[in-house]
Amino acid sequence: MDELEGGIRRVTLPLPTRPGHVHTYLLPGDDGWTLVDTGVGLPDAKETWAAELEQAGGRVATVFVTHFHPDHVGAAADLHELTDAPVVQGALDYAQCELVWGNPAWSERIRDWFHLHGAPDDVTAELVGQSSVYRPFIRYQRDPVLVEPGESVDGWELVAAPGHADGQLCLLKDDILIAADHLLGRITPTVGLWPASRADPLGDYLAALDRTIELAPRIALPGHGDPIENPAGRARELQGHHRLRLEETMVALDTEPKTGYELSFALFGADLQPAGRRFAVAETLSHLERLVHEGGAVRYGDGVIVSYTAA
Ligand SMILES: [Zn+2]
């Protein structure tokens, strides 16, 4: 556990996959800690948390989940059992959480969706297998307290940060942004198009970065990696990165229709493991859909296969 400014504590938990760790934060408040994010629900999650919380001292008043990805929501139910504190989660994010983790048919939905975007059958099976790796380690809290952007939790304002996850919420107080996976220091947060996600996640993300630049927090405490000393500068860098990727996507398009799966090879190379390919296809599609919205690309779909050309 690390002690940060303003009495904030950071608890770093291991992740079995890259980037190998996730940060969670304990925010001090009059009624106790607001615990932001939970780590993956590994079999020893409860014991790990019991030890960390004993070291922190005091009670946990609230467990807050920034978004429904495994490393953030996975141990929410364990923490509720351990602390009896209410779990608070964004309404949109909880709806997607249930849709993905509470739904035994989700793997089928993913399979159909990769197929729709041009992945061959053998590859699709591998991609789906990858998406189930974390499933046994997700113990999200059913019926949490639902919140909306603009509301506050123990004096922290909830700021919408869509893109990496549609319903992701950051927390802002005293110029400190608890950034979840909205801003990361050295890693570029993944922004992908997934089944049942909003239509233009990259457009959402670029706008959310504009909002970060406007808010100009002094420091951002992210879900992975070091604190970010110049959040607005980092937001501009990430916008620049995606503008460049949009140009590269334009270059990869021509007058012959190509699928998101095919185009992911032009943009991310041929040398990817299934886990990498999953994200590559989803990222390629979020860039293609941004281009469709900007008028740089055209989408064709016959209900069997979706493809894209230059406009
Ligand atoms: Zn994360």
Instruction: Output b/e per residue, 140-179; b: 16+ Cβ within 10 A.
Output: bbeebeebebeeebbebbbbbbbbbbbbbbbbbbeebbbb
pLDDT digits (tens, 9 = 90+) for 174-221: 999 999 999 999 999 999 999 989 999 999 999 999 999 999 999 999
pLDDT digits (tens, 9 = 90+) for 138-167: 999 999 999 999 999 999 999 999 999 999
From the CA of 189, how far away is ligand 1's center (Å)? 9
Instruction: Output b/e per residue, 216-235; b: 16+ Cβ within 10 A.
Output: ebebbbbbbeebbeebbebb
From the CA of 51, how far away is ligand 1's center (Å)? 22
Give the pLDDT band of residue 134 (cuts 50, 70, 90).
confident
Distance (Å, rounded) from C-alpha 286 to C-alpha 282?
6
Residues 6+ positions from 257 with CB-CB distance below 8 Å: 300, 307, 308, 309
pLDDT digits (tens, 9 = 90+) for 11-44: 999 998 888 999 999 999 999 999 999 999 999 9
Residue 123 has pLDDT above 90, yes or no: no
From the CA of 28, how far away is ligand 1's center (Å)? 22
Identify the helix (H) or strand (E) that includes residue 269.
none
pTM of the model: 0.95
From the CA of 247, how far away is ligand 1's center (Å)? 27
